[in-house]
Each structure stands twice: as structure tokens, then as C-alpha cells.
């Protein structure tokens, strides 16, 4: 977002600036839950002269690993990463999609070995190739008892679909208890729907970050982000720097959060 001149990430000036930003971030102004949309991987690959988008997606995955370490360093409790939408499954070129699925599988497997991190797949496993669904399930099972940073991997995810799935789950549970539709209609609350979302039991995201200059939600956490703060970064996903992230956190700390009031 606006304001400060770009600082090269390789020089001493960058390191001094990053150090100054870190001092400005204190535990009381760090969000509990950050949602991230690493966007612009394909554009990055084109601009770098690569013949396919795969190198952009690999660079984006490498950046995600960095991003998670930045979050862990600030002791952010929950991070949700938008990796693959339901729309992507039908609208991406078949070879690009195959490459992306492989890269996501490698990423999930890799970050599930980080000490303390708990991995959770959010999305529809049934729409994914069996091997990717297995790897995501294994990463979740392997880290289930971990108590460190909670990392949601949104794969095969759509916000509208999540709300549909939550309502279906509520209807099914109500029917199994023998309740009538009239009773359900009279008693349904936003809190009930929240309890049946993929992220049930987690705090809603305080801050949603999107790279590449795009300013839209793209069907990401539509319910949970009702009162989130948003921060848009011009840098393409693989070019995101720690100072960009720290600026986002600093900016978040200055917001007057109204929560609809």
C-alpha cells in the first residue's frame, strides 16, 4: 500500500529498515489470525521469461514458507493460506493445474514437518485428486497434537461452497435429532453457521492480505472476513518481502476496528 519508497531487500538499508519495523510491532498489536492470498505467480513467471507458470507457482510456494516463518516469529496464532480455489480446478490449463497440484502437495508435506505447527486442510477433499487429498489428510493427522501456529491450507476451497456445506451440516444434524424444518428455521443463528464452517472453533481473520495489487476477495473466507481488515500489496507473490508484511502489521495496528458498529 501507499507511502514508503521501495527498499532493495538485499542491502544494509533494507536490513536497518526491517529492524526498525520489527521494533514497531509489539505483541498487543499483532493480529491473532492472518489470512493470505499469495497472488501474481503466473504474472511473475511471465515477466521473468519462464515458458510456463510452474516456476511462478514454485517461487510462490517458497515465499509461503518464508511468510509462515515471519508469522511464527511474531507469534501469530492462526494463518490461513488460499492455495487453490474450486474455480481453479475447472478453469486452469490442465498442465498448469497438474503442476500446481504437485507443488501444493510438496508444500503441505514440507510445512507439516515444521516443529509445533498444526496443519489443517480447509476445503472439499472430494473434489481433489486422491493423492493430493491423501497428502493433505496425512499432514493434518501428523500434526494434530501440535500446539504451535495453526496453519489452514485452503485447497479446493470456495467461500460460498463452505457456507452451503455448513448449512447442509446443520440441516443433517437437526434432522438426525428429529427436529422439524420449522423449528430449524426459527432457531437458526449466525453462531450456528459459524460452528459448522471449515474453520469452526478458530477466531475469524483479523487481517486479510493479498499480493499483486488485486483488490478483491475471490470467494475467500466470505463469512469469516465480515469484519476483517484488508491490506493490498502491489508486489507479486514471489516478490513479497518481510518489510511488506511488517508494514501490513503496522498498518493493522493503526486501524479503528468497528466490527460493524
Three-state DSSP class for 191?
helix
Q: At what angle are helices 94-111 and 54-73 packed, to 10 degrees? A: 30
Q: At what angle are helices 130-142 and 94-111 packed, to 10 degrees? A: 20
- 138 is an active site residue: no
Cell numbers that stand for 68 in this block: 509462515
- 88 is an active site residue: yes
Which of 196, 189, 209 minimizes the C-alpha distance to 252? Answer: 209
Residues pairing with 81 in the sheet: 36, 153
Cell numbers that stand for 57 in this block: 507457482
**In whole angstroms, what is the distance from residue 147 CA to residue 55 CA?**
33
Cell numbers that stand for 109 in this block: 508435506
**In whole angstroms, what is the distance from residue 145 CA to residue 85 CA?**
27
Q: Which of 8, 72, 88, 244 is catalytic?
A: 88
In sign, the C-alpha dihedral spanning 66, 71, 75, 81 is: negative
Q: Which of 8, 29, 39, 41 is catalytic?
A: 39
**In whole angstroms, what is the distance from residue 45 CA to residue 39 CA?**
12
Residue numbers annotated as active site: 39, 88
Amino acid at each position: 500500500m501507499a507511502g514508503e519508497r521501495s527498499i532493495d531487500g538485499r542491502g544494509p538499508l533494507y536490513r536497518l529498515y526491517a529492524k526498525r519495523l520489527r521494533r514497531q510491532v509489539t505483541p498487543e498489536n499483532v493480529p491473532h489470525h492472518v489470512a493470505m492470498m499469495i497472488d501474481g505467480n503466473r504474472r511473475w513467471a511471465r515477466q521473468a521469461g519462464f515458458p510456463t507458470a510452474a516456476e511462478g507457482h514454485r517461487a510462490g510456494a517458497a515465499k509461503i514458507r518464508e511468510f509462515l516463518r515471519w508469522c511464527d516469529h511474531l507469534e501469530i496464532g492462526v494463518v490461513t493460506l488460499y492455495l487453490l480455489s474450486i474455480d481453479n480446478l475447472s478453469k486452469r490449463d490442465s498442465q498448469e493445474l497438474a503442476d500446481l497440484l504437485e507443488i501444493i502437495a510438496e508444500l503441505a508435506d514440507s510445512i507439516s514437518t515444521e516443529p509445533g505447527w498444526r496443519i489443517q486442510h480447509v476445503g472439499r477433499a472430494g473434489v481433489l485428486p486422491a493423492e493430493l487429498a491423501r497428502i493433505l489428510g496425512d499432514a493434518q493427522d501428523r500434526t494434530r497434537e501440535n500446539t504451535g501456529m495453526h496453519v489452514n491450507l485452503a485447497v479446493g476451497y470456495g467461500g460460498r461452497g463452505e457456507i452451503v456445506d455448513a448449512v447442509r451440516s446443520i440441516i443433517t444434524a437437526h434432522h438426525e435429532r428429529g427436529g422439524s424444518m420449522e423449528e430449524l428455521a426459527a432457531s437458526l443463528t449466525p453462531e450456528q453457521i459459524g460452528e459448522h464452517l471449515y474453520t469452526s472453533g478458530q477466531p475469524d481473520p483479523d487481517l486479510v492480505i493479498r499480493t499483486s495489487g488485486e483488490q478483491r476477495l475471490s470467494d475467500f473466507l466470505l463469512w469469516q472476513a465480515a469484519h476483517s481488515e484488508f491490506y493490498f500489496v502491489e508486489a507479486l507473490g514471489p516478490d513479497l518481502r518481510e518489510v511488506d508484511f511488517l508494514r501490513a502489521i503496522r498498518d493493522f495496528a493503526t486501524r479503528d476496528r468497528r466490527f460493524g458498529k
